[in-house]
């Protein structure tokens, strides 16, 4: 039956930035599909853990600050996931930050911090997870891209650079690892009601102009990513490699 292809029972997912927002929403969607969850975040993920265990799944958490994390730290995160839950079948590279300033005023620190978390950590976590997945015969890596993987944005140069890079390495890693039964794909969320977009949503004029361009007429919610992340994590997406899937309420169609 087709629905069995979406069943994640027995799978283990490592989800970064899972303490709140989109990461928490995706972790819960994966748990409801049957996966056990390891949440990686710089802060406490107890709330996510409670919600995952309420759904009958195992839960583990790692407290890692990706801004300061070395490649060895990221490799250790994958190893600790395997020690805690037995394996790693799914990696969701969700953690990210954004810094806003005009390009002429943008600081080196804001550039480096964003590229470190949003791009460098994505690559090296994917590398470490892929090594483990190859031993297991395959796996699923799901990166979180953005509308700014396609567009330039305004006063977010480092975020645009990082998310454009995420789209690029998604395709590059898919090309290399498809032969190992590892699917590498990305989700590109549209304008979502999260901590990152709080300053925009608080600006009534800017928020109104954004909503006017979204055919769906609303900001996205974490639940809007649950279906697509389960699909990309499941056997149903076995022939999908290197795709960047927009979940944007129609933003790119305008």
191 catalytic residue (yes or no): no
CB 198 within 8 A of CB 207: no
Reading the block at residue 162, the tokens are: 């990082």
Tokens 């997945």 correspond to 133
Q: Give the whole-angstrom CA distance, residue 238 versus residue 182.
A: 9
> Quick one: CA dihedral 109, 113, 119, 121, positive or negative?
positive
Of 159, 191, 219, 231, which residue is the catalytic one?
A: 159
End-to-end Cα, the chain, rounded Å: 36
Q: Give the whole-angstrom CA distance, residue 252 versus residue 91.
A: 26
Tell me whether residue 126 is exposed, middle or buried, using C-beta atoms within 10 angstroms of its C-beta: 0 to 12, 13 to 18, 19 or more.
buried
> Quick one: CA dihedral 241, 9, 58, 192, positive or negative?
positive
Q: Give the whole-angstrom CA distance, residue 224 versus residue 219.
A: 10
CB 247 within 8 A of CB 225: yes
User: Considering only CA atoms, which of 176, 71, 62 is closest in space to residue 116?
Assistant: 71
Tokens 């645009």 correspond to 160
Catalytic residues: 159
């Amino acid at each position: 039956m087709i629905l069995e292809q979406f069943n994640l029972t027995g799978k283990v997912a490592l989800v970064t930035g899972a303490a709140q927002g989109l990461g928490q929403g995706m972790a819960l969607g994966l748990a409801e599909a049957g996966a056990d969850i390891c949440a990686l975040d710089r802060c406490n993920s107890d709330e996510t853990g409670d919600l995952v265990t309420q759904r009958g799944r195992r839960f583990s958490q790692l407290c890692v600050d990706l801004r300061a994390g070395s490649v060895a730290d990221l490799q250790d995160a994958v190893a600790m996931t395997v020690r805690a839950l037995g394996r790693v079948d799914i990696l969701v590279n969700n953690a990210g930050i954004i810094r806003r300033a005009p390009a002429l005023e943008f600081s080196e620190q804001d550039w480096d911090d964003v590229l470190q978390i949003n791009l460098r950590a994505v690559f090296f976590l994917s590398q470490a997870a892929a090594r483990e997945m190859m031993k297991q015969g395959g796996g699923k890596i799901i990166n979180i891209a953005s509308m700014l993987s396609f567009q330039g944005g305004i006063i977010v140069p480092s975020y645009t650079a990082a998310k454009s890079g995420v789209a690029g390495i998604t395709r590059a890693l898919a090309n290399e690892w498809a032969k190992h039964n590892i699917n590498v794909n990305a989700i590109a969320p549209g304008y979502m009601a999260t901590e990152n977009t709080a300053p925009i949503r608080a600006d009534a004029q800017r928020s109104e102009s954004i909503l006017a361009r979204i055919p769906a007429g609303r900001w996205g919610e974490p639940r809007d990513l649950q279906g697509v992340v389960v699909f990309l994590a499941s056997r149903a997406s076995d022939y999908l490699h290197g795709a960047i899937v927009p979940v944007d309420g129609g933003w790119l169609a305008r």
